[in-house]
Amino acid sequence: MGRKRKYTLNENYFDVIDTSNKAYVLGFIYADGSVYKNYLSIVINIRDVTILEFIKRELSYNGPLYFKGDYVKLNICSKKLTEQLKHLGILENKTYVSDRLPNVDYHLKPNLLLGFFDGDGSIYKSGDKDYSYTINFTNNLKVLKEIKNYLYESSISSSKIRKRYDNEISCMLDIRGSKNIEKIYKLLYDNPPDYFFNRKKNRFDEFMHVVNNMTKRDFTDNMINEIKTLYDEGLTQKSISDKLNLKYSSVRCVIQRLRKSGVLI
C-alpha cells in the first residue's frame, strides 16, 4: 500500500471530461497551470483567488493555498492526477512543446475555451469609439492556429496570428468587430460552467450594452429599417438625414452599426 494522503483529493477527476466544470478547469490549467513530476501548480494574482477555491472544491482537495505578496499558489502532489493531465496534453514546459489544446467532446469546447480565455486571454477597449473592443488570446503558434480554426468553424473571424518576439512560442490572436465579439460572447457564456471570471464577463457586458444602446438609441426598428432601405436605394447618408429630418451623426451611427453587423456591405 502507498503512503496515506495528507489531504483529501479526487485523483480520478480528470479520468473522463464529461461536464462543463471539468472542461473549464482543464482549459484554465492548460493556460495558467503547470505540471512538474508529480505536482500540479497554479500561481495567480491574489485578486483571482476565488478560482483556486473553485478548483479545490471541484477536486475535493482540502489542502492549503500559499500566499506570498500579491500572488497565491495552489500546489497539489499526485502522481495519478498529473499523469492524467499529461495524457490530456498538459505537459511539462507545455508552452514550448504543446501543439494542441486538450481534447474534449465538441459540445464542451466552449467551456474549455472559456477556461483558456480566463487564464490566457483578455478583452479591452481598443479605440476611440465606444464600441471598439478587442479580444485577445496568447499562446504558441500551433495552439492559436487551432483556436483560430475553431472560431472560423463557429463563424467568428479573427486576425492574422502575430508573433510577440522573433519566435513561435509567444504569439497573439486578436478578434475585433462587433459581430465577431457578439458571437464569441454567446459561444463562451450561453452554457457556462458554475464559475468563471466575472471581471472579464463584465467587460463583455459593457460592450454589449454599448452596442445595444447604439442600435436602439432614439430609433424604432421601423426607423432603422427605413434608413437601411434608403441607403440600399443609393441615397447618401446626408440625403437620408435630410429626407428623414434626422441628425447626420445619428444616421451615420446607425449605418456604421449595420455595416459592422453584416446587414449592410
What is residue 259's predicted lDDT score, i.e. its pLDDT? 80
Average pLDDT over residues 116-141: 89
What is residue 218's predicted lDDT score, i.e. its pLDDT? 53
Q: Give the tens place of pLDDT for each residue, 206-238.
A: 988 877 766 555 567 778 888 888 988 889 988
DSSP string computed for 178-232: HHHHHHHHHHHHSS--S---HHHHHHHHHHHHHHHHHHHTT--HHHHHHHHHHHH
**Which CA distances in Å does 185 have to 25, 118, 205?**
19, 13, 9
* 246: pLDDT strictly greater than 90: no
* 1: pLDDT strictly greater than 70: no
Mean pLDDT, all residues of the chain: 89
Cell readout for 264 is 449592410
Q: Specify which residues 122 forms β-bridges with.
A: 136
Average pLDDT over residues 39-66: 97
* 139: pLDDT strictly greater than 80: yes
- Domains located in the chain, CATH noted: 20-212 (3.10.28.10), 217-260 (1.10.10)
pTM of the model: 0.80
Higher pLDDT, 231 or 149: 149
Average pLDDT over residues 165-169: 81
